[in-house]
Amino acid sequence: MAAGNLKKVESIVAVLLGLTGLGTLIFWIAFALENPQESFLAQIYPAWYPWERSFIVADGWMIVAAFVGAYGLLRRRPWGRHWAGMAGSAMLFLALMDILFFLQNGLYLHPHPEVLMEALIHLWLLGLGIALIIFTARAVGK
């Protein structure tokens, strides 16, 4: 990959990292402000709420890694790639844990906006996590 192309890709990756970190932060703020009894997922599967709450620290780590990676990539620092890779690994792990939980408990089978939103979040984190791991593995040493 030519240096100019790498800079463009890094800029795009930085924006995606920043938006993902911000989106996850907004998710947790909204989650904290809502009434868990009103959640569709909590109504159909009561274990969902404590399950979701158990991810706040892991998501917090992903948010930090995403923001640091985005900053490093925008500043054209080599460590930005490492942080982007760490964020990608965290995204992949979180997506796989959520996907497995939803599959094991049949939660994807319910046609509801809350389920659709969760599925989109899972797919986003899965796709971006894989893309970040591939991007950072290819960018090592460049």
Percent with pLDDT over 90 in the chain: 85
Burial class (CB in 10 A: 0-12, 13-18, 19+), 114: middle
Residue 131 and residue 10 in contact, taking contact as beta carbons nearer than 8 Å: no
Q: Model-level pTM?
A: 0.92
What are the tens digits of pLDDT across the range 48-85?
Answer: 999 999 999 999 999 999 999 999 999 999 999 999 99
Kindly state the DSSP code that residue 13 receives in the 8-state scheme.
Answer: H
Can you tell me the distance from the alpha carbon of 73 to that of 88, in angstroms, rounded to the nearest whole number? 14
Percent with pLDDT over 70 in the chain: 96
pLDDT for res 6: 74
The tokens 């985005």 sit on which residue?
Answer: 70
What's the domain count of the chain?
Answer: 1
pLDDT for res 5: 80
What does the pLDDT average to over 40-54? 93
What does the pLDDT average to over 44-50? 93
Q: Is the pLDDT of residue 140 over 80?
A: no
Q: Is the pLDDT of residue 119 over 70?
A: yes
pLDDT for res 3: 61
Can you tell me the distance from the alpha carbon of 20 to that of 82, in angstroms, rounded to the nearest whole number? 17
What are the tens digits of pLDDT across the range 10-33?
Answer: 999 999 999 999 999 999 999 999
| Domain hosting residue 32, numbered range | 3-139
What does the pLDDT average to over 92-106? 98
